Structure 1
Amino acid sequence: MDILTDIIRLMRPQAISWRTVDAQGRWGMSVPCRDIPVFCLVVTGQCWYVPRHGQPLLMRQGDYLLMRATARYCLVSDPDAIGTLHAMEAHVASDEYVRWDEGLGGDKVRLVGGYFEIGPEHTALFSGMLPDFLHIRSSDEEAGRLSRLITLIGEESGWDLPGHDLVMSRLVEIMLVEVWRRPLTKIDAREAGWFSGMADPNIHLALQRMHADVARHWTVDSLAKEVGMSRAAFARRFAERVGVAPATYLSNWRIALAKDALINSERPIIDIALSIGYYSDSAFSTAFSRSVGVAPAAFRRARRSE
């Protein structure tokens, strides 16, 4: 079982909300805070990314920035423009953009930024699987595949050809896989999370086993045997690397699958329950209600009435 394929299919990323920025000379833009994953790529020229806290970052042509969630930050031609933007921010609402441009010629810059549109039932899961902050430089040796893909996305974002939505949807899926693939080779073992678990061969194998047969009655003992570890060592390492116990991870994934089936299919609730490892309506309803806050039937009715 390819876990990334499993996850991408579940989340069904359908589109990106784009914002294209063309600037020249001295300029700046203040971007409001977002609680969803956002990205920015430099199509032409270069600019500075300046967070509210932390050091400015120079982004060159072909660079890609992905942030799981953001406080307000600035994109500027040079760090000296920050003072002008901060003064302008005082006069706008917290969710509004601020744009300043001297319009005096100079080097041209084109940026493409936006956010991933994922169903609200999977937003938390999606965000939890992304790194807090990822800067991929076009000069990085291993960035070649992603850089070529970013070029295609940048081109497609400026066109309105037949099949545009379909092409964008496929490019988005491929970009997500490439972004997820890359950090696995550069994980700090001290940082718990999905990436850390995927970077550990034994924990990766355990995750594969769970995804391949989600309905199986998995226990810590059976998973430990699958990966050739003692029960205690496996439980400890899984929690250290992934950040939750094996049973919690499995339960979270089962609930994500259940949400998807309740929204996007007409399958009876008992069939959904059996397919993900619950052997009765009551057991499934109890687990689902504990996780989501409402019973499966109520969740289905509420989502379909939206």
Structure 2
Amino acid sequence: MRPDALSDLLRAVRIRGAVFYHVNCRSPWSAESPPVGEIAGIVLPGCEHVMEYHMLARGHGWAAVQGEPPVRLGAGDVVLFPHGDGHVMSSAPGVTPIRREADWVFATRDTPKPMAVAFHHGVVEPGTLPAFEIDTEIMCGFLGCDARPFNPLLAALPRLLHLPAAQAGDTVGRVIDLAVAESDAARPGSGALLERLAEMMFVDAARRHLDSLTDDASGWLAGLRDRHVGRALALLHAQPQRDWNVDDLAREAGLSRSALHERFEKLLGDTPMRYLANWRIQLGARLLRDTRAPVAAIALEVGYDSEAAFSRAFKRLTGQPPATWRRARAQAVVSSAR
């Protein structure tokens, strides 16, 4: 397989998905979600960064974040809020929303998920409406990932990411249909399957956003799409342990040293070697968290010639030595499981 920097990054930052609410609505309806930071510890404990998403199984609606125009949604559409913004989902702009308070999320945290929720005429209640009364059906959930030490994808995504069904073929439609079916059936293993579906939907969203970027776009995804910078990123991700220098990287990417440096900074706001250093630390952080390998072994695996060099670089980016960072993450996992 050819190098795939997007897959590498998604693996390194540990995407986690969940489908929490199976919402059925009768117009008029409107629901306001708080900034996800207010409920992140309840819905996905232990995740550094949490974002919310909605998949429309049928009907239509509108999605809006403050400061931006509302977006119309149709059946098969997906909308994500990658930066965790508070937002409103509604049958039409201007309908007074019911706010989903953090206390309500906390009070229902032990209810089996996905939890059925009904919205109708200013009323929200657990359960479902009679089938003939439902005009809109939505699967709602959350995605979590690591934000630190290094996750350039988050900054490359907009506050509201709308993925129209018309641009997705029938792939996402099948995912939404399967999510609804699994939610209704509540069979053994449904929870795990729904988590994987949410994760698959996010990967598809990132790819579709990449494909939709304009020629003047910047950011990590724009760099990935660029012929030469994308090649350089693929090389750095495929061989992070290699003793890279800008001359070697530029030659293999098909540019001069100065051209690669300029293009990299223009698209990513970073230099190739600084990007490599940050990527090595992210890989090292994953190994510290997920394995019991000694720090010295991890240092060599991610491209440092000594434990001391790795520790200095790790502390510069995270503020902590590797061993301290590892202990803190282990304690956080224990705390989130209580």
TM range (shorter): 0.7 to 0.9
Selected match of 2:154 from 107, 127, 132: 127
Q: Deviation of residue 277 (structure 1)? A: 0.9
Q: Give yes or no for the alignment of 1:42 onto 2:44.
A: no
SS in 2 for 1:139: helix
Q: CA deviation at 1:216?
A: 0.8
Q: Map of 1:153-172 to 2, 5 A cutoff?
A: 153-172=179-198
Residue aligned with 1:19, SS? strand
Deviation of 1:71 (Å): 3.3
Q: Corresponding residue for 1:192?
A: 218
Structure 1 152/11 Cα, relative in aligned 2: closer, same or farther at 3 Å? farther
SS of corresponding position for 2:233: helix
Indicate the percent of aligned positions where both proteins have the same amino acid.
30
Q: 2:139 aligned to 112, 116, 125, which one?
A: 112
Q: Which moved more, 1:145-154 or 1:268-277?
A: 145-154
Q: Is the 8 A contact 1:37 1:67 kept in 2?
A: yes
Are 2:268 and 1:242 equivalent residues in the alignment?
A: yes
Tell me the residue number matched to 2:291: 265
Map of 2:121 onto structure 1: 102
Equivalent residue letter for 2:121 = E
Give the aligned partner of residue 136 of structure 1: 163
Asked if residue 255 in structure 1 is aligned to residue 268 in structure 2, the reply is: no
The 3-state SS of whatever aligns with 1:205 is: helix
| Pairwise CA distance, 1:274 | 0.6
Partner residue, 2:335: none
Give the Cα separation in 2 of the matches to 1:305 and 1:189. 45
Unaligned stretches of 5+ residues in structure 1 = none
Pairwise CA RMSD = 2.7
TM-score, normalised with respect to structure 2 = 0.79
Distance 1:230 1:21 in 2: 54
Using structure 1 for the length normalisation, give the TM-score.
0.87
Select the residue among 20, 39, 43 that pairs with 1:18.
Answer: 20
Query: What are the residue-to-residue correspondences of 1:54-73 with 2, within 5 Å?
Result: 54-73=68-87
Q: Deviations over 1:60-93 (max 9, x none)?
A: 1111112212433211122241xx33xx76xx96
Query: Which residue matches 1:282?
Result: 308
Task: Show the 5 A alignment for 1:71-90.
Answer: 71-81=85-95, 84-85=96-97
Match of 1:9 in 2: 11
What CA distance in whole angstroms lies between the structure 1 residues aligned with 2:274 and 2:11?
21
Measure the CA separation in 2 of the matches of 1:123 and 1:94: 29
Q: Structure with the greater relative contact order (CA < 8 A, sep ≥ 6): 1 or 2?
A: 2
Instruction: Give CA-to-partner distance per residue, 1:1-59, whole Å, 9 cap, x none.
Output: 22233223323334315222221121111111125322111112111223322222221
Between the aligned partners of 2:4 and 2:75, the Cα distance in structure 1 is 33
- State the alpha-carbon separation in 2 of the partners of residues 240 and 22 from structure 1: 45
Secondary structure of the residue aligned to 1:176 is helix
Can you list the C-alpha shifts for 1:252-285, whole angstroms capped at 9, x where unaligned?
2111111111111111111100111111111111
Instruction: State the secondary structure of the residue aligned to 1:166.
Output: helix
Distance (whole Å) between structure 2 residues aligned to residue 3 and residue 231 of structure 1: 21
Query: CA distance change for structure 1 residues 30 and 134 in 2, over 3 Å: closer, same or farther?
Result: same
Question: For residues 123 and 201 of structure 1, do their structure 2 counterparts lie closer, same or farther at Cα, with a shift above 3 Å needed?
Answer: closer
Per the alignment, do residues 200 and 246 of structure 1 end up closer, same or farther by CA in structure 2, a change over 3 Å counting?
same
Shift of 1:157: 3.4
Q: Distance in 2 between matches of 1:285 and 1:197?
A: 29
Among 245, 255, 258, the alignment partner of 1:229 is 255
Change (3 A) 1:188 1:152: same
Q: Report the alpha carbon displacement of residue 176 of structure 1 after superposing the two structures with TM.
A: 2.7
* 1:207 Cα offset (Å): 0.7
Whole-Å separation in 2 of the counterparts to 1:11 and 1:132: 19
Q: How does 1:208-227 map to 2 (within 5 A)?
A: 208-227=234-253
The residue aligned with 1:207 is 233
Q: 1:43 and 1:126, CA in 2 relative to 1: closer, same or farther beyond 3 A?
A: same
- Between stretches 167-176 and 115-124, larger displacement belongs to 115-124
What secondary structure is seen at the aligned counterpart in 1 of 2:165? coil
- Is 1:300 aligned with 2:326? yes
Post-superposition shift, 1:187?
Answer: 1.4
Counterparts of 2:309 and 2:75 in 1: how far apart (Å)?
A: 53
Residues 62/163 of structure 1: CA separation in 2 closer, same or farther (3 Å cut)? same
| Higher mean C-alpha displacement, 163-172 vs 280-289 | 163-172
SS at match of 2:185: coil
- Work out whether residues 48 and 56 of structure 1, in 8 Å CA contact, stay in contact via their aligned partners in 2: yes
CA contact (8 A) 1:51 1:74 kept: yes
d(CA) in 2 for partners of 1:163, 1:100: 28
Taking the aligned partners of 1:169 and 1:120, their CA distance within structure 2 comes to: 20
SS at structure 1 position matched to 2:166 = coil
